Amino acid sequence: MKININEIQRFCTHDGPGIRTTVFMSGCPLSCKWCHNPESKYSDNKIFFTESKCVSCKICERFDCKAHIFKENKHIFNRKKCFGCGECANQCPSKALENTLLETEIDDIFEEIIKDKVFYGETGGVTLSGGEPFAQADAAFELLKKCKDNKINTAIETCGFFDSTYIEKFSSVVDLLLWDIKDTNENRHIKNIGVSLNTILENLFAADKAEIKIRLRCVILKGINGNSEHIKEINEISKKIRNLQGIDLIPYHPYGESKYKRLGITDTFDSPKYIPSDSLIKALKKQLYTKSF
């Protein structure tokens, strides 16, 4: 079975317990304004263009799409002509052009995962992230099943916006769900995320009912959800989750800005003004619902 990924990262320590191999799967149903992996929202290939790496070899100018031209040794990339075949990136010697998506076999991904098994110990394992892994549910299930069959701990980082029928199926192959709560205000959620919070919460409680362990991950942005009202709502949600393993408040960062530029996206949300101070995060953490995690 085929699977579309953006990349694999090894020795990760923030994507679940222990040392983990994180597979970033492509495709996402949300439109988060502060997404820091914008390349992963697409289900098809896009091209990263890093102008500073271009050596003006002009190999990319030869392809039929004619998306690349050079004027006075300046590389101009007309993305409207690009149809994402990726050949220009495959031939680029300096990696100024890079594909964002790799279509490969699940067996090939598993071979990469199994190489790291020796480092996992008793707590580490594999995490599927993205993007949204449930956007490729069949592929995600098959990959996690292979991991479980080989006694590898499994986790999925999810936005929670997916077909609820997946929950029962995945309960046999996933040890932990890292569940993103983007915001708890419905109006802000629709404005900044693009969908209602209701489906996400319905799936969250259904996953808990299916006895899947859950850890909440909440990105905090100053001036948007970095306030006591948001924490109060997170607490109310948390109290309803029997299998809650913890709550992470994650400070917003604008690290995705360079990726937007490399994708040719100029109208971006990223801004340092939304970065919460350490003191704000510390104060909000003190207000969190605490349970014997």
Per-residue pLDDT of 132-186, as tens digits, reads 999 999 999 999 999 999 999 999 999 999 999 999 999 999 999 999 999 999 9
Reference 106, options 79, 143, 76; nearest CA is: 143
- The yes-or-no verdict on residue 191 having pLDDT over 80 is yes
Mean pLDDT score across all residues of the chain = 96
Strand partners, 75: 70
Confidence (pLDDT) at 273: 92
Domain ranges of the chain: 2-43+101-286, 51-99
Condensed to tens digits (0 to 9), the pLDDT of residues 100-114 reads: 999 999 999 999 999
pLDDT at position 293 is: 55
Give the pLDDT mean for 67-80.
94
Provide the phi-psi class of 181: left if phi over 0, else alpha when psi is between -120 and 50, else beta: beta
Confidence bin at 115 (pLDDT 50/70/90):
very high
8 A C-beta contact, residue 29 and residue 195: yes
Cβ–Cβ contacts within 10 Å for residue 145, how many? 16
- pTM as predicted: 0.94
The rounded distance, in Å, linking the Cα atoms of 80 and 19 is: 41
Report whether pLDDT(256) > 90: no
- In whole angstroms, give the CA distance from residue 163 to residue 207: 12
> Tokens 């479980």 appear where?
148
Q: What are phi and psi of 126, to 5 degrees?
A: -115, 140
Alpha carbon distance 125, 16 (integer Å): 8
CATH class of 51-99: alpha beta
At 219, is the secondary structure helix, strand, or coil?
Answer: strand
- Assess whether pLDDT exceeds 60 at residue 222: yes
CA distance 196 to 23: 27
Please name the residue that has the structure tokens 């997916």: 162
Coil, strand or helix at 136:
helix
Is 5's pLDDT higher than 80?
Answer: yes
Q: What CATH code is assigned to 2-43+101-286?
A: 3.20.20.70
* CB 157 within 8 Å of CB 15: yes
271 or 278, which is more confident: 278
pLDDT at 73: 85
Residue 8 in contact with residue 105, Cβ under 8 Å?
no
The pLDDT of residue 121 is above 80: yes
For residues 276 and 226, give the distance between their C-alpha atoms in angstroms, rounded to a whole number. 7
Q: How many residues does the chain have?
A: 293
SS3 annotation, 72-109: CCEEEECHHHCCCCCHHHHHCCCCCEEECCEEEEHHHH
When pLDDT is cut at 50, 70 and 90, the band that residue 291 belongs to is: low
Residues 77-103 have a mean pLDDT of: 97
Measured CA distances, 26 to 1, 22, 95, 169, 206 (Å): 15, 13, 21, 21, 25
CB 66: neighbour CB atoms within 10 A? 11
Bridge partners, 48 (sequence order): 98
